[in-house]
């Protein structure tokens, strides 16, 4: 039998636009199992120990798209990722205006992946947060301008992370 990496490579080769969640369903594995087995050019495991510094840096990136999927529904917030602080067991997002609000149970984040994978034929980069079972907790996609072009400064920051932590 082929390894998960081989099966993922076959699926991506046949349909580069196929989403990791779809591949996970087809292979009956977790979404993390798919993402961690994407080709090295598409995915990098971000060190869990560096998560606090990443969370502190994200608000400086500007507008991004934060996605939360729950029971088949997808919620998106297009706004700068808010600053936060740890308290009462959560990373509490501090946002006094519009945009993303909430409380992130960061202890439940077991793995973080930097993912560069086309979406609907367009270049796309995201930071994906997974729980211990390999399920997605939330995703942060790089922002786009009014012409739907990725924001160059964010792409540069993302690529720097990918280079710093890639294999």
In a domain, 138, yes or no: yes
Query: Phi and psi for 85 in degrees, rounded to 5?
Result: -150, 150
In a domain, 82, yes or no: yes
Domain count, the chain: 1
In a domain, 166, yes or no: no
Has residue 47 got a pLDDT over 90? yes
Query: What is the rounded CA–CA span in Å between residue 70 and residue 128?
Result: 15
Task: Report pLDDT digits (tens) over 92-122.
Answer: 888 777 788 888 888 899 999 999 998 877 8
Query: DSSP letter at 134?
Result: S
The candidate with the shortest Cα–Cα distance to 81, out of 69, 95, 91, is: 95
Tell me the pLDDT band of 167, cut-offs 50, 70 and 90. low
In a domain, 163, yes or no: no
CATH classification at residue 113: 3.40.1570.10
Q: Looking at residue 16, what is its pLDDT?
A: 85
Return the CA Rg of the chain.
16
In a domain, 164, yes or no: no
Alpha helices (H) in the chain, listed in sequence order: 4-14, 20-27, 31-35, 51-57, 152-165
Has residue 1 got a pLDDT over 80? no
Which residue shows structure tokens 């994906």? 128
Q: What is the mean pLDDT of residues 124-143?
A: 95
Has residue 23 got a pLDDT over 90? yes
Q: What is the mean pLDDT of residues 65-90?
A: 89
The candidate with the shortest Cα–Cα distance to 137, out of 38, 44, 30, 47, is: 30
Q: What is the mean pLDDT of the chain?
A: 91
What domain range includes position 99? 4-145
Tell me, yes or no, if the pTM score tops 0.85. yes
């Amino acid at each position: 039998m082929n390894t998960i990496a081989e099966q993922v490579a076959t699926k991506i080769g046949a349909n580069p636009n196929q989403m990791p969640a779809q591949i996970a369903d087809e292979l009956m594995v977790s979404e993390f199992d798919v993402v961690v087995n994407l080709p090295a050019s598409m995915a990098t495991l971000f060190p869990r120990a560096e998560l606090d510094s990443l969370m502190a840096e994200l608000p400086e990136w500007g507008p991004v798209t934060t996605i939360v999927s729950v029971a088949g529904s997808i919620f998106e917030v297009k706004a700068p990722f808010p600053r936060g602080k740890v308290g009462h067991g959560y990373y509490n997002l501090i946002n006094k205006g519009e945009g993303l609000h909430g409380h992130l149970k960061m202890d439940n984040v077991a793995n973080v992946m930097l993912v560069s994978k086309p979406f609907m034929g367009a270049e796309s980069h995201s930071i994906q947060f997974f729980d211990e079972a390999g399920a997605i907790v939330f995703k942060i996609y790089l922002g786009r301008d009014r012409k739907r072009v990725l924001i160059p400064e964010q792409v540069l920051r993302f690529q720097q992370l990918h280079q710093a932590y890639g294999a």
